[in-house]
Amino acid sequence: MADDNISTSDLLLKSTYLETDEVVAELRAVRIAALEQRQGHTRPPRLPSRKVIATVADGLSMALFPNRLGPVDLSVEGVDYYVGYILNVTLRTLLVQIQHELHFNAGTEVLSPEDHIRAVSVTQKFARCLPQIRRLLDDDIMAAYVGDPAAHCIDEVLVCYPGIAAITFYRLAHELYQLGAPLIARMMSEIAHSMTGIEIHPGAQIGRSFFIDHGTGVVIGETAIIGNNVRLYQAVTLGAKRFPIDEHGALVKGIARHPIVEDDVVIYAGATILGRITIGRGSTIGGNVWLTQSVPPNSQITQAQA
């Protein structure tokens, strides 16, 4: 009886392996065909790793706010040492990921010396942006603290508010996007999207003292421009109204298609603002408004008026 049981188990196991081998072979054929069609070769260079980019974003956040996001036992005397250490490790990791992106874009067998130099340059320029990013984030955090009566202290805003987490990742990603690492930037912003439910394209331009209250469902498109002292609530969309196509029927990419929101604007929950329109300075856009035309400064737009 025992021999019969073993024989049956072996037979089942063998049949499972056979089926898996067939699936693996078919998946390989489909994968190779797709790669050849898309890129002209079957062994493309490695992409940046989303998991590694997540560790980079975390490391940069800890370097920016070591006393609140760093180790709980960090001493006052050890802050600079810790920041130097975490930056050294994180920036070296980022450098490798930038090399992967440049190598992937080039589609060559090996990374060229020029792209290696470029990766180092991008990393160094990004590092020099970090103090300015910290200053911008301080303004964002203060805007959240001042603008939300439920905030009891500034540190609470930093460690608890999903809007601040999303904005932190956005400000890091935006600099990488500007410096020539758009894929890594997009990965970083999508990591924040997964964490917070807030989607901010790294190509968007956002001014000082930006506050997203609650935040879930907020969408800010690639070519959106947002001024200073702007406040958004949950489920606000700054999106495109239409997507032009070229003579071959393909979407035209890179055109300005998202709203411009000037300084001191408040946009309440559920508002949808579409197209390359301008929301004038000091305006208030009410909840659930659907807006596809520009409004002058100091406008008060409610659902009935829109």
Domain boundaries, the chain: 45-197, 217-306
Residue 245: the pLDDT is 85
Instruction: Name residue 261's beta-bridge partners.
Output: 226, 279
DSSP state of 238: E
- Note the pLDDT of residue 46: 83
What average pLDDT does the structure give for the chain?
Answer: 92
User: Predicted confidence band at 212 (pLDDT cuts at 50, 70, 90)?
Assistant: very high
Sheet holding 205-206, edge to edge: 205-206, 225-226, 260-261, 278-279
Tens of pLDDT, residue by residue over 28-63, are 888 888 777 765 555 667 899 999 999 999 999 999
Give the residue, 40 or 20, on which the prediction is more confident.
Answer: 20
* Selected residue with higher pLDDT from 44 and 65: 65
Tallying the residues shown for the chain, one arrives at 306
Please, which pLDDT band fits residue 10 given cuts at 50, 70 and 90? low
pLDDT at res. 247:
84
* pLDDT on residue 41: 55
- Contact, 173 vs 190, CB < 8 A? no
**Per-residue pLDDT band at 19 (split at 50, 70, 90):** low
pTM for the predicted model, two decimal places: 0.88
Q: Count CB neighbours of 290 within 10 A.
A: 12
Q: List helix spans (H) across the chain.
A: 2-39, 50-64, 66-69, 79-106, 113-147, 154-160, 162-179, 182-196
> Which of 232, 230, 227, 224 minimizes the C-alpha distance to 274?
224
User: Which of 81, 233, 243 lies closest to 144 in space, CA to CA?
Assistant: 233
Q: Is the pLDDT of residue 274 over 80?
A: yes
Task: Please say if the pLDDT value at position 76 is more than 70.
Answer: yes
Average pLDDT, integer, range 201-214: 98
- The whole-angstrom distance between residue 134's C-alpha and the CA centroid of its chain comes to 17
User: CA 296 to CA 279: how far, in whole Å?
Assistant: 7
Alpha-carbon distances, residue 34 vs 31, 133, 183, 209, 255 (angstroms)? 5, 40, 20, 45, 28
Q: Which CATH class is domain 217-306?
A: mainly beta
Is domain 45-197 annotated with CATH 1.10.3130.10?
A: yes
C-alpha–C-alpha distance, residues 63 and 31, integer Å: 40
pLDDT category at 108 given cuts 50, 70, 90 is: confident
Q: Which two tokens stand for residue 103?
A: 């190598």
**In this predicted model, which residue has the larger pLDDT, 107 or 88?**
88
Model pLDDT, residue 276:
97
Of the pLDDT bands very low, low, confident and very high (cuts 50, 70, 90), residue 243 is confident
Q: What pLDDT was estimated at residue 71? A: 93
First-residue to last-residue Cα distance in the chain: 79
Whether residue 306 has pLDDT greater than 60:
no
User: Which amino acid type is present at position 256?
Assistant: A
